[in-house]
Amino acid sequence: RLANAVTPLWRLPYQEQLQVKYKSQRKILQTLASRLEELGIDAQKPGGLCCPLQPVVPSPIINGYRNKSTFSVNRGPDGNPKTVGLYVGTGKARNIVCVKANHLENMPLKHKQVAQWYEEFICRSPLDSCILFHEGGHWRELVVRTTSRGHTMAIITFHPQELGQEALATQKALLREFFTYGPGAACALTSLYFQESTMTRCSHEQSPYQLLHGEPHIFEELLGLKFRISPDAFFQVNTAGAEVLYQAVGKLCQTAGDTVLLDICCGTGTIGLSLAHQVSKVIGVEVVEKAIEDAKWNAAFNGISNCEFHSGKAEAVLPQLLASWEDARPLVAVVNPSRAGLHYRVVQAIRNCRSIRRLLYISCKPEGEAMRNFLELCCPPDPRKKLTGEPFAPVLAIPFDLFPHTVHCELVLLFTR
């Protein structure tokens, strides 16, 4: 049941998986074409699509490709309340159970090993797991990040409840001891982090990641560049697949030597830095402060001097940046937002900036909030909605399989005007 929930296509040969994904991407582009027609835009192309769709680009690695996994702590099928795994079931049906992920094909062995030792540690602990916040308990999520350079980062989330500083210090010392000199030393962690969190998710600013052992960062190589990764920085989950994706993005941008590349939701700067050699300047915007610190470090370490990175919400930074844009150089935008899509003010700023003639939208869930963004980018000008700029039109779609065995793709949609 877990394999079917997390990796629904795992039983299919890989070529068949790609065909399933191609069909789902076709449906998305047909939906977009229909929605554009409703807005009075003649968007129907052959096959009822809004633009040509290329075949799904396969992932270079099919099994164990994930460089980041998040494990929950909850009651297992055997009743063990300290099971470390992934959820099966729904809250509505009240049949949620936490199942070990040892058999999942998209997850590397190292992630499964760290999860196994974390479970061993919390089973030995007199403290309970935190299943429902109001019912007490402490041990919560585990995030494992790995790189092709052999680095492993583990981040443990802990609900402090009413524990004092001395009791917290004891737990941190026990964790450090277990993973450095105890049985957990088998994981050979590069970094061990601890975060006290009273919420489902906490940013570093809300509750700092505390380094218990090892190096503050892990490092990855991508397209010949070295990247530093912080605990909460975004990095594509499939490194080999990301290299293929970014090379294609570089070609689709059609940049000339004088082009300025605007990298919105830039994370640790991977896209902008990998394309910096083919443009005159890169401007990156990202909400996670630590990721921007990483991006600046990555630029300096790789000897790239034509990049500037801005920390803050894109809807706050971008309108200011583009409102006064008077640079005569061509401006190409690449956006790679989370599943929540782009804030309306970001779309407004892009639409109303005449210098942006070419836009690449990278989405892992194009049928979700991204669809709203596509319509906002392409709809006729509407002064009431402060969309005064000329509309964009979709001209090409290329899906990249960054998530083998799952139903998801990373869709790149090229818009021009």
CB 25 within 8 A of CB 399: yes
Question: Cα(232)–Cα(293) distance, rounded to whole angstroms?
Answer: 12
Annotation-wise, does 286 bind a ligand?
yes
Question: Cα(264)–Cα(271) distance, rounded to whole angstroms?
Answer: 10
Return the ∠ at Cα 268 (arms to 72 and 374), rounded to 5°: 85
| Sign of the torsion formed by the C-alpha atoms of 382, 387, 389 and 393 | negative
Reported residue count of the chain is 417
Annotation-wise, does 30 bind a ligand?
no
CB 414 within 8 A of CB 396: yes
Annotation-wise, does 236 bind a ligand?
yes
Q: Which tokens belong to 229?
A: 């990764």
**Alpha-carbon distances of 13 from 7, 8, 57, 77, 402, rounded to whole Å:** 13, 12, 16, 30, 16
**Alpha-carbon distances of 255 from 263, 286, 295, 321, 330, rounded to whole Å:** 13, 22, 21, 21, 8
Question: Cα(282)–Cα(104) distance, rounded to whole angstroms?
Answer: 38
Residue 378 annotated to the active site: no
φ, ψ of residue 195 to 5 degrees: the values are: -130, 125
Run of H or E including 119:
helix 109-124
Q: Which tokens belong to 180?
A: 């450095």
Within 10 angstroms of residue 94's Cβ, the number of other Cβ atoms is 7
CB 356 within 8 A of CB 391: no
Name the catalytic one among 364, 378, 379, 409.
364
Active site residues: 364
Show binding-site residues for S-adenosyl-L-methionine. Answer: 236, 286, 336
